Amino acid sequence: MPTTHYTKSHEYIRVEGETGIIGITDFAQAQLGDVVFVELPPIGKSLSKGAEAATIESVKAAAEVNVPVSGTVVEVNSALAESPGVVNEDPSGKGWFLKIKLSDAAELDGLMDENAYREFLKSVS
């Protein structure tokens, strides 16, 4: 049963076993507007918690996707190169960015669960 965790910078990580799928939240995609370009990291790159993993460009801004926890990149969503708009259409599904192999599952404890993130959104909006 996968569990989803959230960061204050609006990334999510959906963890199943040792792997986590990382993307941006629906709130984040709405704030960015139409995503026109996504730059993804090379497979095998090891990233420590908070490091920049990907770059998103929308029609009005450029932003970074940081990894919520440390890990090694095992897969990237190469479909985004052709159709970056999927990030807007389905951020928590087909619009994922990368999969990492977690190096320290204990780091997840510092993140928000879905309820906490929903509360957090109320405080920022």
Partner 1 sequence: MRYLPLNSEDRADMLTRVDVKNIDALFADIPEAKRLNHDLDLPHRKTEMDVERLLSGLAAKNVAAGSVPFFVGAGAYKHHVPANVDHLIQRSEFLTSYTPYQPEIAQGTLQTIFEFQTQVAGLTAMDVANASMYDGSTATAEAVAMAQRITKRRKAIVSGGLHPHYTETVRTYAGMAGDDALVLPPDVFATEDLGALVDDETSCVVVQNPDFFGNLRDLSELAAHCKAKGALLVAVFTEAVSLGLVQPPGAMGADIVAGEGQSIGNRLNFGGPYVGLFAAKAKYLRQMPGRLCGETVDALGRRGFVLTLSTREQHIRRDKATSNICTNSGLAALAFSIHLTLLGDAGLRRLARINHANAVDLARRLAAVPGVEVLNKTFFNEFTIKIAGDAAVAVERMATAGVLGGVSVSRLLPDKGLDELLLAASTEVNTEADRAAFVQALQGVLKC
**Pairing between strand 62-66 and 46-47?**
unpaired
Smallest gap from residue 72 Cβ to partner 1 (A): 18
Which residue lies nearer to partner 1 by CB, 55 or 72? Answer: 55
Which residue lies nearer to partner 1 by CB, 37 or 83? Answer: 37
Residue located via tokens 């993140």: 111
Residue from 36, 51, 74, 108 binding partner 1 (CB under 8 A): 36
Q: Does 81 bind partner 1 (CB under 8 A)?
A: no
SS3 state of residue 17: coil
* C-alpha Rg value of the chain to the nearest Å: 13
Which residue lies nearer to partner 1 by CB, 68 or 84? Answer: 84
Q: Does 61 bind partner 1 (CB under 8 A)?
A: yes
Kindly give, in sequence order, each residue whose CB lies less than 8 Å from that of residue 98, ignoring residues fewer than 6 positions away. Answer: 21, 22, 40, 41, 53, 54, 73, 75, 76, 77
Which residue lies nearer to partner 1 by CB, 19 or 55? Answer: 55
Are 88 and 58 in contact by the 8 Å Cβ rule? The answer is no
Q: List interacting residues with partner 1 (CB under 8 A).
A: 36-37, 39, 55, 57-58, 60-62, 64
